[in-house]
Amino acid sequence: DQQVKQNSPSLSVQEGRISILNCDYTNSMFDYFLWYKKYPAEGPTFLISISSIKDKNEDGRFTVFLNKSAKHLSLHIVPSQPGDSAVYFCAASATSGTYKYIFGTGTRLKVLA
Amino acid sequence: DAGVIQSPRHEVTEMGQEVTLRCKPISGHNSLFWYRQTMMRGLELLIYFNNNVPIDDSGMPEDRFSAKMPNASFSTLKIQPSEPRDSAVYFCASRPLQGTNTEAFFGQGTRLTVV
């Protein structure tokens, strides 16, 4: 049973436009969420996170939004750049539990120049 | 710090052989994770250690898989016997603090091919 779902396997966006990547989760105990970026032949690298006490966290061009009632989070990249082309993974954990991170299946973002 | 170090980077082995993947976490990190990446399941958590003790191994697919962490600076994931369906990229990750909201740092992975 996939507790963290990324329903869009791929996304293409024009350079300079906004990229929106979506993630849904099923476990209401999750209270900490992360986004990772992964380039080919490399390990995932941390991008941005959000705690459930917030509904938005911003870091430069990257903003994560959390909608707890809908069990949904999204990553916005504005403006998108060709170097943002990568696979993006959403992850969630329950800090009252074992603190393990559960990842989604990933979304491959392609930013077109 | 060199980051999380995994070896080997690539491993090709024949079905039925034993495979051992190795991981050196970042110094001072006391939580360690083993993940497997596949197209169908994304990054799948296999096992998680805290202070060298296995906390959750519910993701280990079968008894053919085993993991150890004999000390704070070394962990192994062993598959015996290996099967073609074990072919995937295996990642090790470590985290600096237990019980707090911090990100995990990943190694570059080991690409395993079982023929």
> What's phi and psi for B64, nearest 5 deg?
-70, -20
Which residue in chain B is spatially nearest to A48 when comparing CA positions?
Answer: B103
* pLDDT grade for A2, boundaries at 50, 70 and 90: confident
CB proximity A39 to B under 8 Å: no
CB proximity A100 to B under 8 Å: yes
Residues of chain B found within 8 Å of residue A3, distances taken between Cβ atoms = none
Amino acid identity of A51? Answer: S
Q: Best mutation site among B7, B43, B50, B60 for testing chain A: the one with the most A CBs within 10 Å? A: B43
* B23 Cα to chain A: minimum distance (Å): 13
CB proximity B108 to A under 8 Å: yes
Query: Mean pLDDT, to the nearest integer, of B3-27?
Result: 97
Query: Mean pLDDT, to the nearest integer, of A87-94?
Result: 94
The answer to whether the Cβ–Cβ distance between A89 and B44 falls below 8 Å is no
DSSP string for residues in A13-38: EETTS-EEEEEEE--TT--EEEEEEE
pLDDT digits (tens, 9 = 90+) for B23-51: 999 999 989 999 999 888 889 999 999 89
Q: How far apart are CA B55 and CA B32, in angstroms?
A: 10
The answer to whether the Cβ–Cβ distance between B103 and A46 falls below 8 Å is yes
pLDDT digits (tens, 9 = 90+) for A8-43: 999 999 999 999 999 999 999 999 999 999 999 999
* Class of residue B94 by CB neighbours under 10 A (exposed 0-12, middle 13-18, buried 19+): buried
